[in-house]
Structure 1
Amino acid sequence: MDRTRLALTAVAAVLALPLVTAAQHTRQTPYGDSFDSFSARPAGPVAVRIRGAAVEAYDSRSGARHWTYARRGSSPLALRSAPGHTFTLWADGMITDTGPGRVRWHRAVPGLGAWLAGRHGRASGVFQPLDPGVRMLAVVTPERITAFRAADGDLRWLLSAREGCAFDPGRTVHTGGALLVAQPCRGRDSWSQELTAVDAFGRITPDRTPLGNELPGQRRRGGGGNRVARPS
């Protein structure tokens, strides 16, 4: 009898192994990621596009797929490309960065998913680069502007809209190294008070001394953002 019980226990343990392995695999993809590579080295420049419910990188000359990336239960709404990066905005409010052969990071902005679901086309303008190489990426929503370091997804700063006001992702302009974002307010303040200027270091204010955005161990570049003279 004891031998029979031992044999049954051993069989049960063997049968359980695939279930344990599957559970471990599920824990390794908590965001429902599905990333598939098709070729190690494309012949021509790689371009990215949204195709159905996935992001697809493909050879711009031959059209051959390089990789595809999808997330279970959500769909991509907007893309922003930069050297070595593909930033994707998903319908559930998740933001991802995909590099060569892998997904680098995931970030969520509070309330973004619910706001995106409110009206078709709201994803336009949400992604805004904060420097020419897109080392810093801004995510503009009515409640706040959130800035992430592209290399690792680190949250570097956030700026909340003024009380009674809301940022408008659809009304932005880049000029002189700054990003100007419309911030219309109830009560119709003067037009100059309804504009907010930011750059890679945050809101541009007179005589500011912002922190740098370098990775740990890197030396700080330059003097730290755009300076604005004090009003006379």
Structure 2
Amino acid sequence: MPRSAHPGAAATSRPGSAEPVPLPRPTAPGAAPTPRPLSPALAPARRALRRVLSATLALLLAAPLLAAAREARPAAYGDRLTLHARVEHAPRPELRRSGATVEAYDEGTGRLRWTYAREGRRPLGVLPARGDAIALWDDGLVTATVRDDGSTVRWHRALPGAARWLAAHGGAGVLRGLGPRMLAVVTPQRIAAYRIADGDLRWVLPARPGCAFAPARAVRDRAALLVAQPCAATDSWTGEIIAVDELGRITPDRTPLDNERRGERHSAEHPHTEKVVARPR
């Protein structure tokens, strides 16, 4: 009888063959079992599982870093709102400009309620409008802040090409109210109307060629805003005064304002009409 291939291992013969076939070596008591080789068919699945686990672990480790980076990121537009005193059921505060901040004071006690600043910027004007504090900044940005508590900046709107002029002339007369729901922003190049509730641009009136609007030379007359428009050469003084309201430029042939509520369009046949961006809602 031939000897076994390994000591202590049993042997058997293949059918039709005289050669012995070694049997598995018995495992000693307490010893770890011999690992069986991985099937080649399972290898791709195992590699895919390792990749998924590695990606998941990387995301878990990166989450705290992403959160810290988000906290360290500066606020949009450099906004810095600070609440100093919370007052409930009190009249709306008085607005002031002080250096680089817009401040809101309680009219009864004189206590400072909140301050609003923008990093590296300075407010040139502030206008109370409905429940908001409208501010004009030296970089040509207009903002609306919740007036009662200064809890948030509701919207930001940029004035194209106005920063250099504002730096030289200041913001006198730029912010003008057009009734309880509309804001006019007057610059030499144009008059733009924004809805106070959400900052939606409603219409734009450009200055005539060779002329420029004078924001500081504007007065309110009931529902109308009269704005001076001096020109280099003009044959009529009436061409140097423009009247606007919530709907845009006021002209003799324009449809009456009350028709706007019934959905009728105001006339657009008069010369030098403004660009209507959207109809009031």
Which TM-score applies when normalising by structure 2?
0.66
SS at match of 1:107: strand
Between the aligned partners of 2:220 and 2:266, the Cα distance in structure 1 is 13
CA contact (8 A) 1:145 1:160 kept: yes
| Residue 173 (structure 2) aligns with | 125
Q: Residues 21-75 of structure 1: CA distance to partner in whole angstroms, max 9, x if unpaired? A: 2443466822111111122215753111112211111212222221111111211
> What's the % identity of the aligned pairs?
51
2:244 partner letter: V
| Residue 75 (structure 1) aligns with | 122
| Residue 216 (structure 1) aligns with | none
Matches within 5 A, 1:157-176: 157-176=203-222
CA contact (8 A) 1:86 1:97 kept: yes
| Residue 87 (structure 2) aligns with | 41
Which structure would you say has the larger Rg? 2
Pick which of 203-212 and 77-86 moved more.
203-212
C-alpha deviation, 1:83, in angstroms:
2.8
Q: Cα distance 1:167–1:225, how it changes in 2: closer, same or farther (>3 A)?
A: farther
2:135 partner letter: T
Structure 2 gap segments, 5+ residues each = 1-52, 271-281
CA contact (8 A) 1:199 1:225 kept: no
Candidates 238, 242, 262, aligned match of 1:192: 238
Between the aligned partners of 1:152 and 1:43, the Cα distance in structure 2 is 24
Between the aligned partners of 1:186 and 1:156, the Cα distance in structure 2 is 29
Q: Residues 129-176 of structure 1: CA distance to partner in whole angstroms, max 9, x if unpaired? A: 111x2x100000000000000000000000000000000001111114
Q: Residues 188-215 of structure 1: CA distance to partner in whole angstroms, max 9, x if unpaired? A: 4321111111101001123334999xxx
| Residue 108 (structure 1) aligns with | 158
C-alpha deviation, 1:19, in angstroms:
4.5
Q: Residues 68-116 of structure 1: CA distance to partner in whole angstroms, max 9, x if unpaired? A: 1111121111010023110000011100001142111000110111110
CA contact (8 A) 1:157 1:202 kept: yes
Which TM-score applies when normalising by structure 1?
0.78
| Residue 131 (structure 2) aligns with | 84
CA contact (8 A) 1:201 1:210 kept: no
Between the aligned partners of 2:177 and 2:265, the Cα distance in structure 1 is 14
1:170 partner letter: A
- Aligned pair count? 210
Between the aligned partners of 1:82 and 1:225, the Cα distance in structure 2 is 27
